[in-house]
Amino acid sequence: MRVVLDENSVKVDGNYYPLPMGNIYIEDDEGAFPGDAYCDFVSVLLLWWTNELISFYWGAKTVKLRFMDEHYYIHLMHEGADDLGWCQANLGESILQGTELTREVYFDLPEFTKSLAKAINTLLRNEAFVARMPEESAELQLAYGRLRQLIKKK
């Protein structure tokens, strides 16, 4: 399981909201979730997901990776601090009748962390984003550094 940010889809200008948008999703052996054309506020998601992942490493048994469209969610779970190699993820969608589990995935946490760091780095290489949103890019730079520290520890 990995985070994918389509570098060519990122748009900094011309959005209704003053935030960069682009195609961002989770990919595993069964495909893309919520879909490979899912467009969202990439800087917001990357920061949210980094903060949740750090909590996960620091002992939270479960965390929720949210999308701006609250219909979609990913719950990450693990058994304990000694077992952070392989973890479980429930990918799902909230519907009117409750929640619907799309699939369960077991994933390599260090590899997932690397993919999140790579997605952040992809956005930080976007010159328009860095030039027009210096505060957001500085926050993402710090988030990237925190993920790199986690990767080095594992």
Tell me the per-residue pLDDT of 112-140, one tens digit each, with 9 for 90 and over.
999 999 999 999 999 999 999 999 999 99
How buried is residue 150: exposed, middle or buried, by Cβ count under 10 Å (0-12/13-18/19+)? Answer: buried
In a domain, 137, yes or no: yes
Residue 29 lies in a domain: yes
Amino acid letter for position 12 = V
- Does residue 71 form part of some domain? yes
Share of the chain above pLDDT 90, in %: 68
Q: What is the pTM of this model?
A: 0.90
Q: Is residue 120 part of a domain?
A: no
DSSP codes joined into one string, 55-112: HHHTT-SEEEEE-SSTTEEEEEE-S-TT--SEEEEEEEEEETTEEEEEEEEEEEHHHH
Q: Is residue 121 part of a domain?
A: no
Q: Is 140 a member of any domain?
A: yes
Q: For the chain, what is the domain count?
A: 1
**Does residue 118 belong to any structural domain of this protein?**
no
Question: Is 80 inside any structural domain?
Answer: yes
Residue 22 has a pLDDT of: 95
Segment 69-108, tens digit of pLDDT: 778 999 999 876 566 678 999 998 876 666 677 899 999 9
Structure tokens at 15: 């959005």
Domain span holding position 72: 2-113+127-153
